[in-house]
Chain A
């Protein structure tokens, strides 16, 4: 009763929707896609949208619907599914919300983080969490939901990926890629790259791809290919001009074609190519691409668009050839897209 009373207060005093909210919890169907709506920094308006691939329906604010109306927090950055649990990183709320992946109901949360960004899973007992401010990499135990260890990083760490029992992390502040032994958690190597390394993917040949944004001082973007067997740099692809930015990365399900967000849309290249693509696979003319993901089952491409960053954004769905299939409205500033297993 007490919770219902507070829910009443919540609805009458705090933010409302102008349209009718769905009553009761949303059922999470098979083949669901979760869109992480970052929301505006310091607005507390982050949300989760659930897209049903079977009937093409969309439920926005699914976290609120399934969790007594409470909001998820400030800036939902990323999420990973570990078994039947979904670990959602809520960046500016300094927490990871752990949800039941089949109901999206709250199980627990991992608090006392600083400004968490991404999770990379080594095993059911070990995952790495990067952080913007903490100067540390957290190691959590996904089973116990506890922080078990930290690694000093002395700076901002963004995306990470694992190959050959090594963690490749993008260390933004030092313009380096750090290589960490995931058995001993010792730092094996620091590889100098262009300014602002942020995104990491591992291709079918176990090579790591790192996208560098070029920094905040007008540097050029660059894409690095690192051979993880010996941690040597195989290739460096530099943007032709300062405006040729290289943003988020993604691979198809056979992991032989690399996609990235650039200034005119979504670009694709074969991992064996010797140069960057010139024209985008999917153009962003009259659109503002913000993030994307490729469905590991179907290879369909989902691209998020924040429009004016103050309204509900949109997600476009394309087939792998880049033909638009449909588009649906989601929450404010849609970023990452997660395919529930």
Chain B
């Protein structure tokens, strides 16, 4: 009786399938390895990294270059984020400062966010995410579109071919001058994802091929940037993305036609005015997401429509020696779906004020407070305090911060029929973080070392979990209380100049994420790691460039993940080695042709990121890119 409604629930909590996109920026004059910029508990991944075709998609990129754990259901499948041991709805995905998380289930499926649409990806770990709003208990991923105001005509086309029928075609046109810029991006992506695996669930252990995993994704992004005056900027962004994905069944399940289409239309306008000592930014976005789901076996054809108006106004100014940042946010979300009896609506209002004061040149203090109000419902006051200290004249910086955050239940949690639970409490977190960053020139302006270390602690009350009932439906409850703590390390050594440029970077994170609420006399989940949260995650990558050639090697390690809350069952650890080689040829500094080839999972490891979801063995890709620049 107990699986009734669980297909729909499964969809709700796991939108599916990832695309494979390639970013494009190919530097003509000189290729500088900038890589990941690390600033205390923040991280920035620039276009140099985004453009590496080794990264199939945003999830692939983030799992290699950050402390994020990406819960991937397979190549071309769902990819959700877990940061600092939190759940998939606890990380915000922001686009130019506006949250793109689903108002229905609170998550963001990274499959629906092509890397090619992004000029920069930055991460705010933990409390530092609250600069953009509430809900990012784990942190936030911020994707941006950035203009370069100069006279230019820049055409870029790339095509990528890989194993399992992967074909990607990307095109970009950048045109403009010192006052106006237009960026147009087009993507077309298809893949069969029909790799082979050994089926260990049936007698005889036959080799099988993944079926019903093909995808087709198309997208257009258009951005306009106008400098109205020297100190005023208006930008308008439009995003259309249509993703059609067949959903492969679990290993050994009966073949089925299960299909999901996500059509997303996002519009964002932003006005910025820079005064002598202050900045005003007004941002408004309208997001229209449609999800269609068909399950032939279950006879389901359902549809959900999510419409959101999301706005924010930021004003940064100085008052005496205090830097102030004020913010007002208003979001209105409406959802109509087959799982909801009627259209449901929720509006949220947030007011934020931050004051930053430099007590000395080396020591400054940040105090912020955010008031989060769900209209006609609860409100929450969320303070945060941060200290930054630079040790003497050294390059060692220390920081400490503490504060609160809240994640309000999603519309499905509250209103899903028949089991939405309107008496759910919001998930509330209290966090502290300590960290340091260190920068050193081993050889002045030639050879650098950067490193950062962060320790964090987070207590999440009222952790929401959906569970089945004995009466045929699932229901969300505030079942758990979760304590997460851990450490994040990052180090890079780079030599960005000279004939042979080198960049070596390594990340490691330890994450303890444990439930400490015993619900039941036989509950053995207390004190145990949450399911699918790895304690250990690490990555080492090396990039070498010489005379237009580049070699990249990336080694990713993921520790065991428990798959039962009493930690009796687990998935073993695994590691993945990827290599890539590229060569570009520049003609008159106007034309550039670049060829990149690579091998993923070089060691041909068999592994599962999610139990009974096969992952591909060794596979290959080649990318051809052409750029014209005037």
Q: Which residues of A approach B to under 8 Å, CB–CB?
A: 2-3, 6, 9-10, 12-19, 38, 41-45, 69-71, 73-75, 91-95, 106, 111-112, 114-115, 132-133, 135, 158, 196, 198-199, 213-218, 245, 247-248, 261, 286-291, 305-312, 314, 327, 329, 332-333, 335
Question: Does A94 lie within 8 Å of B254, measured CB to CB?
Answer: yes
Could you say which residues of chain B place their CB within 8 Å of the CB of A307? 519-520, 522-525
Question: Does B569 lie within 8 Å of A15, measured CB to CB?
Answer: yes
- Shortest C-beta distance, B520 to chain A (Å), equals 5
Measured CA separation A186–B360 after assembly (Å): 90
Category for how many chain B residues contact A: 35 or more
Query: Which residue on B lies nearest to A72, using beta carbons?
Result: B201
Question: Does A45 lie within 8 Å of B563, measured CB to CB?
Answer: yes
Instruction: Tell me whether chain B's interface is mostly helix, strand or loop, or mixed.
Output: loop
Question: Does A213 lie within 8 Å of B471, measured CB to CB?
Answer: yes
Instruction: Tell me whether chain A's interface is mostly helix, strand or loop, or mixed.
Output: loop
Contact sample, A vs B, 7 pairs, CB 8 Å cutoff: A15-B570, A16-B570, A95-B254, A112-B254, A199-B1, A307-B523, A332-B564
Residues of chain B from 443 to 492 with CB closer than 8 A to chain A in the complex? 465, 467-468, 470-473, 479-480
Measured CA separation A305–B10 after assembly (Å): 22
CB < 8 Å A-B pair total? 181
Question: Does B608 lie within 8 Å of A3, measured CB to CB?
Answer: no
- Shortest C-beta distance, B472 to chain A (Å), equals 5
Task: Pick from A196, A199, A245, A288: contact of B520, CB below 8 A.
Answer: A288
Q: A13-B606, A75-B3, A216-B473 are in contact. Are A310 and B565 (CB under 8 A)?
A: yes
Measured CA separation A9–B470 after assembly (Å): 37
Question: Does A133 lie within 8 Å of B297, measured CB to CB?
Answer: yes
Q: A18-B568, A158-B1, A305-B522 are in contact. Are A290 and B254 (CB under 8 A)?
A: no
Residues of chain B from 188 to 232 with CB closer than 8 A to chain A in the complex? 198, 200-205
Question: Does B2 lie within 8 Å of A333, measured CB to CB?
Answer: yes
- Shortest C-beta distance, A265 to chain B (Å), equals 11
Could you say which residues of chain B place their CB within 8 Å of the CB of A45? 563-564, 569, 611
Beyond the given pairs A245-B470, A289-B470, 12 more chain A to chain B contacts, judged by CB atoms under 8 angstroms and listed by A's residue number, are A2-B205, A13-B572, A18-B567, A18-B570, A19-B568, A44-B201, A114-B254, A158-B1, A218-B418, A248-B1, A311-B564, A333-B468
Pick from B245-253, B326-334, B403-411, B429-437 the stretch touching chain A. Answer: B245-253
Question: Does B523 lie within 8 Å of A309, measured CB to CB?
Answer: no
Query: Which residue on A lies nearest to B479, using beta carbons?
Result: A308
- Shortest C-beta distance, B92 to chain A (Å), equals 25
Question: Does A70 lie within 8 Å of B2, measured CB to CB?
Answer: no
Could you say which residues of chain B place their CB within 8 Å of the CB of A311? 523-525, 564-566, 568
Could you say which residues of chain A place their CB within 8 Å of the CB of B565? 308, 310-311
Query: Which residue on A lies nearest to B295, using beta carbons?
Result: A133
Q: A6-B200, A308-B519 are in contact. Are A217 and B417 (CB under 8 A)?
A: yes
Question: Does B465 lie within 8 Å of A308, measured CB to CB?
Answer: yes
Measured CA separation A245–B1 after assembly (Å): 14
Could you say which residues of chain A place their CB within 8 Å of the CB of B563? 15, 43, 45
Question: Does A94 lie within 8 Å of B253, measured CB to CB?
Answer: yes
Question: Does B608 lie within 8 Å of A13, measured CB to CB?
Answer: yes
- Shortest C-beta distance, B572 to chain A (Å), equals 6
Contact string against A for B residues 309-333, beta-carbon threshold 8 Å, 1 for contact and 0 otherwise? 0000000000000000000000000
Could you say which residues of chain B place their CB within 8 Å of the CB of A132? 3, 298
B392 at interface, CB cutoff 8 A: no
